Amino acid sequence: MKTLVIVAHPHLNEGSRANLKKVEALKAQPEITVHSLYESYPNWAINVKQEQQLLLAHERIVLQFPLYWYSVPPLLKKWFDDVMEYGWAFGSNGVQLKGKQFILAISAGGGKADYRAGGYDWFSMSEYMKPWQATIARCNGTFLPSWETYDADQASEGQLEQDALAYVQYIQDESLENYSL
């Protein structure tokens, strides 16, 4: 399955051990295309047609990002606003993403227990990601279960490496397409 991983981390090489480990593991896979938004668009001028072609060329799209104020980093939000055009991704003629599978790959500095009712962050990661699930559904995509990495700031190199390898296996798992939320 042709898989596109869109990495949206503004400080990937300077401040992200967890996401950087994942990117290194992904780049070793010939059937996975890794596309870094902040590297490709340092001036934020997104090439919409090129991005749409990338989406069309892949069956599974993974959006990999750190949790930013309980959402996605700003360039990923702009990417959605620019690329997911009416008449292309949604609307009466917007069927270009029909059948495409989407996975969110989220990293958080806090622990999993923080993301629950009554926890430090009040809500589960799934609850915070509902707007993105709805957006993907509106764009005729299939929303698959997210990959969540917690304690990204405190994890050892070995833990991050294990997480990265498990992540690569997960996003390549073809049985996920049978999953229904």
Q: Are 170 and 106 in contact (CB under 8 A)?
A: no
- The total of other beta-carbon atoms located within 10 Å of residue 1's CB is 14
At residue 109, does pLDDT exceed 90?
Answer: no
Query: Of 131 and 177, which is predicted with more confidence?
Result: 131
> Number of structural domains, the chain?
1
Supply 158's token pair. Answer: 């070995």
| Measured distance CA(4)–CA(130) in Å, rounded | 22
The mean pLDDT of 104-126, rounded to a whole number, is 83
pLDDT tens digits, 74-87? 999 999 999 999 99
Q: Are 64 and 6 in contact (CB under 8 A)?
A: yes
Kindly report the CATH number assigned to the domain that includes residue 164. Answer: 3.40.50.360
Q: Are 66 and 17 in contact (CB under 8 A)?
A: no
Q: Are 115 and 150 in contact (CB under 8 A)?
A: yes
- pLDDT category at 19 given cuts 50, 70, 90 is confident
| Measured distance CA(136)–CA(138) in Å, rounded | 5
Identify the domain containing residue 80 by its residue range: 3-178
| Measured distance CA(157)–CA(150) in Å, rounded | 14
Length of the chain: 181
At residue 29, does pLDDT exceed 70?
Answer: yes
